[in-house]
Structures are given as structure tokens and as C-alpha cells.
Chains A and B, each alone.
Chain A
Amino acid sequence: MSMAGLSLEQAPPISVPFRFFLVAPLFLLLAALALLAAGPAALESRWSQPLLGITHLFTIGFMSMVMSGAMLQLLPVLAGAQVPKPHLTAWAIHLPLLSGALLLCGGLYFSTPVLVTLAIPLLACAFAVFLAIAIYSLARAPARNASTQAMLLALAALSLTVSLGLLLAACINGMLNLSMQPLVALHVGWGLLGWTTLLVVGVAYQVVPMFQLTQPYPRNVARWLSGALFTLLSAWSCRLLLPEPFAGLLAFAAACGVAACIATFAIITLRLQQKRRRKVPDITLQFWRTGLFSLLAAVLLWLAGQASAMLSNSTFYALALGMLFIIGFALSVIQGMLYKITPFLVWFHLQGKLPPGKAPHMKNIITDRTARWHWRIHLASLIFCLASAMWPMPWIYVAGSALLLGGILLLANLCRAWNIYLRAVAKT
């Protein structure tokens, strides 16, 4: 290992991650408004055009937006990996991701293939730059551990997700003629169980022990879990290449393995948190627990679906699985992390600029009270969403309103933090 490439300095400029964090909640608002505008028609089937648009507002517009910004921030800290030319890199990811996500979601929501066509090069560019930078930085990182391994696998899963997404987009606008259903299954599997789950796993290995003062993850589990998940997802994908009945058997066995990996991760994390050394109330912990219980609920629902064809063929099943995973798991964990990362970054960048003791501490930047209100609304919106999967009328309107309110609260909290930073800097 060479020391020359090692810099233990934390931070890219604060505007690098914040441009991602401030734009992301706008996509939650758009998703909620789109749900309210479409009404019960959106939930008629998982394949409804409005729902495809809304889903991508969550996954690309919010989740990938925050995850990209957070990785540009975290790579230097967690992996000792410097991101080259941070301003330029941030622009080259942020602008095409923002515009590409808007066009893609608009194209799907309004069934307008030309918008999808326009989105293809933009999203391809955004993800290509992000992947190149992140893989380059991680590969050169001096820290090698279970966490960086999971992150690298997450990036590999993202590259598969994006490639499959681009193929699907080409099918939508008629450039390619492929059977879309199997590609969609792979796209969803690699996006949610690969990219999203593996990144959360990699981040959890570091931040759960750090911020809640828990024991570290058991070594043997941390070592195999992410590799096993990735291998099982690969095996599950191979079914497309095999004849029946081998394909069906392999897919089922691999899916059971994936479910077991995910449940293991959720249960171990919940156990660690339960036995945490730090007992003070913590809003990030509330969000994490909400996320992990949702993840377990998704696994249980999937198991029930395997036992009952009536359930697994129902519209409720597909909708509820997606809602538990995206709104229950991913949104909870991501929003919980934002409540740690953003106030810390504001403090960190201000303490270097203001006289000693003048930088506001984290709980003055985002107060526990407002963050806790957001968590309550978020939890309610998850419950209302699940109700709407069963009874679209009238719950979809309640769910949409709660999602809207949650998005507004997140945006308000993050804007307040950013304002505190800007005002303090303006005074210096």
C-alpha cells in the first residue's frame, strides 16, 4: 500500500453532496402529486404507466440521487478514497441525473416514448460518470474490509440495473424488440435487492456500530453476506439461460437464498441495535428500525406469496412488496441517514470558517422535534400506502397526502440546514 495516495481529509466542498440532497425531496413531492393526480387508476396493476413513472420518481429521483451524493461524500471518509475534481464530477452526475430522471418519469407516467428516448443518453451519462468515479475511488482505497467489498458489489449491481434499464427504455421506444417481462424482473431484482440492499449493507457495517455504539457485525457473517447475496442474485438471473424445469427450480432456490440473506441482515442489525451501548433517543435509529422491520415484512410477504398462488397473483401482493421495500425500507434508511449526514456537514464546514464555539451544533441545525414529526408522518404514509394497495379508494388519497407532507417536511428540514450554513457564511 502506498502512502502517497492517502489523504485522510474528509470532505469534498459542502455544495457537492448538498446539491443532491436538496433536489431529492422534490422528487418525493412529485411522486406524491403524481399519485394524487392519477388516483386509483395508478394502482390497478403494477404495470400501470402512472405507477411506473411514480416508482422511478422514488428510485432514481430520490434514492439514487441521495445515494450518489452520499457516496461522493462518504468515499473519502469510509474508504480513504479521494474523489477527483469534486465540483466538476458533481455537475457531471447531478445535472444529467436530474434532467434524465424528470424526462424518464414523465415519459413513463404520460406514456410518451419520446421523453424516454431523450432520457436515455442523460441517465447513461450520469450513471457512467458516477460508476467510473466510485469504482475508481474504491478500487484505490487503502481501506479493505467487508464494507468496501459490499459497496463494490453494490456498484456492480448498479451497472447491471442501469444496463437493463437502458435496454428496457430502448424496447419502449421501439429501438429494440425483446420480451420485456423477464428483463423487468432482472432490472427490479438488481436495482432493489442488488444496488440498494448491498449499499445499505455496506454502509450499515460502518455506521450502525459507529452511531449507536453497538458491537461490530459478527465477522464471519459480514465476510460472506454481501458476496452470497450477489452470487445468489447472479444464479437467480441465470434462469433465463436454462430450460425448464431447471430454470424454475434454480430461480426458486436462489430466491429463497436471497430472502435468507436479507432476513439475516435485518435480524442481526436489529439485535445489534437492541443491545446498543448508546441509549439516548435517536431519530436516525427510529428510521433504521422502521426500515429493517419493513424489510422483514417484505420477506414474510414474499414467503406467504410462495405458499399461496392466490396471494402472489394478486395486485395487492406486487404493490405491497414494492411499497414495503421502497417506502418502508429504502426511504426510511436513506432519510434516517440524511438526518445524521446533513447537520454534521453543516457543522463541520462552519466550524472551519467561524470562530471557535460559534458553529451551531447538530441539534440546532435540524431539531429533534421536526425530525421526529417527519418520522411519524413517514410511518403513517407507509401504513396508508399499504392500505391503498388493498383498497385504492379512498386510501390512495390519504397515502398521497401523507407522502406529500413527508416530502415537504424533509425538504423544509434540509433547506433550514442549508440556510443556516449560507447565512453563517455570508456573515463571515
Chain B
Amino acid sequence: MKRWLLVGLLAFFGLGLAQQRGGSITIALQTEPAAWDPTQVAGADISRVVYDNVLQGLVKRNPKGEIVPSLATRWTVSDSGLTYTFTLRQGVKFHDGSDFTAQDVLAKFNRARNPDTRASGHLRPDLYRDIADISSPNPSTVVFRLRQPNNDFLFILSRPESLIGPRQRPLAEQRVQPIGTGPFRFAGWERGVAVRLERNPNYYLPNLPYLDRVNFRFLGDGDAQLAGLRAGDLDVIAYSLLPENAVVLSRDPNFKVFSGSGTAEAVAGFNNSRPPFNDVRVRRAITLATNKDELIQGAMLGYGTKIGSMRSPGEACYVDLSNFNAYNPDEARRLLAEAGFTNQNPLRFTFNLAAEFPYERRIGEAMVAQLNRLGPLQVTIQVTDFNTWIQRVFSQADYAMTIIGHVEANDIGNYANPRYYWRYNNPRFQQLFTQYLRAPNQTKACEALAAAQRLLAEDAASVWVMSLPALGAHRARVQNWPDSFLSPGISVAEVWVR
């Protein structure tokens, strides 16, 4: 009798707490990407919409940043680190009704590793260079054989570029209407307005997703987003909520502000290849002259996490270097004097800002004000549009100093590429990064990555100002919004509305 009572009570409360199915929400998105297939076009906003909502890969990164099963239910790695064997989920269908099979996986990764990107239309074949061979010994198994161990291999398979579509799907169609296996199907794209997702009725996980429809509405203006949220036209501002708006909304019971550490580092980058920033004393002086606490408090109203190297606190193998080269104006002046720059003969340079990014722009402007306060520095700001920034700073490295958010997770490897726009060329770092990639186990890998983070900080290769906050807000009726932000996607499968 007692047992039945317990069961009854559990059932009662269980039902009381049960997630409601149905309904729709509208989420604000800051920019409108040029296409929606992350294998063909890169961009954080593409992943935010399609990753694990529409398109899925063998594995995925969950909101906590952990690599977990997706289209593969489990996998094993050989002791040599050279063979990865994935067991595929059975009975999965693409949104067009066709079956997801091992052949789709083979076709996808053979396309991905084809070095001729013009033929494959696939971005970043360099990521898949270590794949020697892919095979499918039986319909539920896929085996990757690598040329050499690669500690990032599972991470690479969790990247947006590794999402899988039907092998027959023409690329041009996949760009504008991606077909995948996710909980939502891509229902439509109204250029300049929104993307519409609808429930996938054949989704393989029972009872998911909860919502019938999810709209992603493109609204570039932060104040327009706020107005839309307050008026009820928007349910969620998923990211890039302006700090001052967050403060206002957090006082209102109709809204819930969420914030946390994501994977975006605000990197104030130097051109390491040119005077004056090819001199480590000058780079260190700029780092020491930067008061990160003040920037977080003043420019971001306390939102943001102080860091000291190219990694955010939520990421694996993170080393806390936030107080390394901490604010010390006297030491900064001393180092600058040593390099020949004084109040009488100040170091003059231009600091490039891209207009489109509200966080980086305000952080950059405040940072320049701090540098100019020091004495021996005379920094001028140059604001351009993002496309000009990409051309001058990113492609041609025709700049002295700049700031931009690097959203991608685990992107410290960019410092191992001397052609990258920081033009940081340190063989010791490149060696450490290779050690990390080829390490025989996770412990050794993390040791190498920790050393790499420290080396970057000692070298003051950039000023890592802060890990930018994942800052947003939703209406109170929205339930179960993810509270971690380490996935490339805004996964809404388990979100529901009251």
C-alpha cells in the first residue's frame, strides 16, 4: 500500500513538473549568415541555429562543452590512438525521409578530407588531414584510421564542419535549406527577416523536442532587440545582450537574465612581426598597462571573466593565468623606457576596431583610454566596418594592434600558424602544440597545452582581456533554457514554454 502511495505521489508530482509540449518561441539573432550549411560556410551564427537543432554529427559538444554521443551511440579508441570505431544509431531518418546510414558518414568525411576544396565545396580540409582511411565493416559501424594520433580528433568531429547531411543532397540546396537528423527541420529562410524551424515528427529521441516551432529573428540593433523582448515579440535574446540592458532586465520579474562564461575570448592582438610589437618588452608593457578588472567593471558592468591566455575557464586543460602580467603601470613605463619610449618620445600607433561588435568596440575604446593614460603611449583609434577589418587586419595583417572576439572553442592552435593575422612565429610554441596534438594520453596532452598557454602569456603574444560573457535574457515563460554556453549551438530541443 505504502509503495503504491509513493508511486502515486511520484506520478502526481512528475506530471506536475512535466514539460509541456507545443508552442513556439522567437529568438533574436544579431546577424544574418550568407548560408546555413557549416560544411560550406563558416560563422558562429550558422552554428547557433543549426548545430544539434537541425544538423547533427557523430558526436556533439553539449552546453557544458563535453563531447557526448549524437549520431554515434558509442565509440572506442585503440591504444595506439590511431583507430576510432563508432557505433551508429539505428533507425535514424533525415528530414527528407531518407535513412541515415554508414554510407552518409563515409561520403561526408571523404568529401571533408578532399584537399581540392573547389571540387568538394567543403571548408577546412586541413582539419581532416590526419584521416588515412574511413571504412564501414558493417552497416552500424564506421572506422576511422588516422595517420598519426590526434588529440583533437573527437573535438574536430564535434565541430560544426563535421555535421552530416544526406549524401545525395546537392550542395547548393543544402546551403539554403539544410537537411539533417536533428530534433527540428529547417522550414524556411526569409532573407533579411528570420529562419523558421519546425518540430521533426520522426525524431529518434522519445518526447523531444518540446517546442513545435522555433524562429530565429535577425535583429542587429541591441535596443531594438530589447524593445522586442519587452513588447513580447521576442522570447529570447540569446547572446550579445548589452550589459546595461541586462541590468535593467534583471530587475524585472517578467524576464530572466542568464550569463556565464562561453568560449569567446576578447583578444587584443598585436602584429607580432613588425616593430614595435616584435619586441616582447613592448608587448608586455601594453599588457601591464591594461587594467582588465577596470575594463570588466567599467565597459561590461561586471560581466566577463578575466583571463591571461588564449583559453576560457570552461574549456578543457584550462590554466588560470588571469593574474599573470597583472596591471602594473610603473613596470609598464619601465619596460617602455627600456625599449626607448618615454613621455617625451612616446610610442605612437593605431588601434583598429570593427564597428559591428558592440562588446569588443566598447572594450577596445576603454582599453585605448587606459593606454593613453600611461604617458609614454599615444594610441589613436581607427574604426572601420568588419569587411574592411577582415581585409586589412585579418587577411593582410596591415595593422599594429586590434581587438576582436574569438568565438571558436579550443582555438589556441591559431598561434601555431605563423600566417595567422597575429603573425606570431614561435617554434617553441609550435612544438608544444604538436606535442599536445600527438600526446599518447589526455594527461600528457593537457600538460603540453598548459605549457603552451603559459608560453603565450610569458611572450605576451596578445592581450587576452577577458572571456566575453555569454549574456542573454528570456521571458519568464521560457523554461529549461541552457545555463552553460560551451556548445557551438543554441540547443533548444529541451526548451519548453509555459
Real binding pair: no
- A: residues with CB less than 8 A from B are none
Q: Which B positions have Cβ atoms within 8 angstroms of A?
A: none
